[in-house]
Amino acid sequence: MNSTLLCDVVVVGAGFAGLMCADRLSRLGYTVTIVEKAPAALAGTSSRNEGWLHAGTYHALSVRDRREAAAVAKRCRFGWEEIQRRFSECVEAEKGKAVAILPEAKLAESLSRWEEARVGHVRLSASQFGHIAEHVRVGADEAAFAVDDLGINTPMLAASLIAELRNRGVRILLGARILGRSDDLLHVATADEAFDLAHRFIVCAAGFETERACADLEIPPVQVRLWRSHLVTAPKVAPVSVFGVAPQQAAMINHGAWSIIGFNEDATLVDRPTFDVDPVIADRLEEAVRWRFPKADLSAARRTACVKVDYAVHENSVRSLNVRMLPVLDNAVVVLPGKMTEAPYSANVVASHVFEMLGQGGVTARPIDTYELTNQGS
């Protein structure tokens, strides 16, 4: 016979979206069980990204619509602040050790966007830049700024988060297959045991496997788009992290003795999740790296590719920027976090929604919490 486990919320997926949602919900006092199909946490995109803790620097400039750009940048800064404050052990570089390079022609617009999104920046003079100039090429028409972006050790961040979750009593079922759902019971099996999870709410945070997970959970389907992009990992190519802000420029974040480098924009739509590397794109990326970092030794470079998801509001909507929480049932949501750095923000959105749906947990409601009920029909 299956063991029955009781919990308030089942979170499906132990990537950063799922872990952060479990964090918020357990802090609110809900009992949480995480169901992860892989034998270890962080099996999807969260362990194959650039480890760039965004300070809003890039997105404040790259997103065409100014208002949306500022919103993405502020969500990033929210995560950037929280992750540094709570998980300082995982931050890999000192503050002020990243440089953003932007075209002089766009300086006025860029500076006003950074001001609006409260993105920290200090213009670097040639002499301030001098100590890294031998490693980094800056064009005559470009300006360099010290910015707040950081590298983060993603496995260590996950380990710290998981330790906190376990201390708070969150149960994490690894290698767990979802077998089906009936009413408020989710049927799950690990290699050794089968469980019926009696729950009040489901949070689906399954990343690029969202569509499949919705089917397993027997909740209404959410269609996501899949975007593949590439990274190159090489022995450190410059002493500080450096990124240009134009689309086809290299964005490099240092992690100890290594640099992870991607294009700002190389995401292309794919029809299935894949880690396959497109050699043409990877060659172009290495060219962009060589241009910006003429001394880079790419002989030992490793090329990887991974997929991120977004939810297509309309055909041309901006990719990967739309943090989404989609309520698919009264007691189920699907969450797409946008960037890893935005996961703390999206977890807050999920926590507020669950709190509203599950009730106030023994706390007196405010007048505004009862306003809609008492004014229905009036």
Ligand X SMILES: Cc1cc2nc3c(=O)[nH]c(=O)nc-3n(C[C@H](O)[C@H](O)[C@H](O)COP(=O)(O)OP(=O)(O)OC[C@H]3O[C@@H](n4cnc5c(N)ncnc54)[C@H](O)[C@@H]3O)c2cc1C
Task: List residues binding ligand X (CB under 6 A).
Answer: 12-18, 35-38, 43-46, 49-52, 54, 178, 205-209, 212-213, 216, 229, 231, 262, 306-308, 337, 339-341
| Minimum distance from residue 1 beta carbon to ligand X (Å) | 23
- 73 or 143, CB closer to ligand X? 73
- 340 or 349, CB closer to ligand X? 340
Pairing of strands 98-103, 241-244: parallel
Strand runs labelled E in 148-263: 150-151, 171-173, 177-182, 185-189, 194-198, 201-204, 225-235, 241-244, 250-255, 258-263
| Minimum distance from residue 20 beta carbon to ligand X (Å) | 8
* Coil/strand/helix, residue 183: coil
- 121 or 324, CB closer to ligand X? 324
| Minimum distance from residue 155 beta carbon to ligand X (Å) | 12
| Minimum distance from residue 19 beta carbon to ligand X (Å) | 7
| Minimum distance from residue 373 beta carbon to ligand X (Å) | 34
| Sequence-distant (≥ 6) Cβ neighbours of residue 24 within 8 angstroms | 347, 348, 350, 351
Side chain identity at residue 141, one-letter code:
D
- 143 or 347, CB closer to ligand X? 347
Of 23, 120, 111, the C-alpha closest to 81 is: 120
* Coil/strand/helix, residue 55: coil
Name the H helices within the chain.
16-27, 59-62, 66-86, 107-117, 126-133, 154-167, 210-217, 279-292, 343-358, 367-374
- 144 or 188, CB closer to ligand X? 188
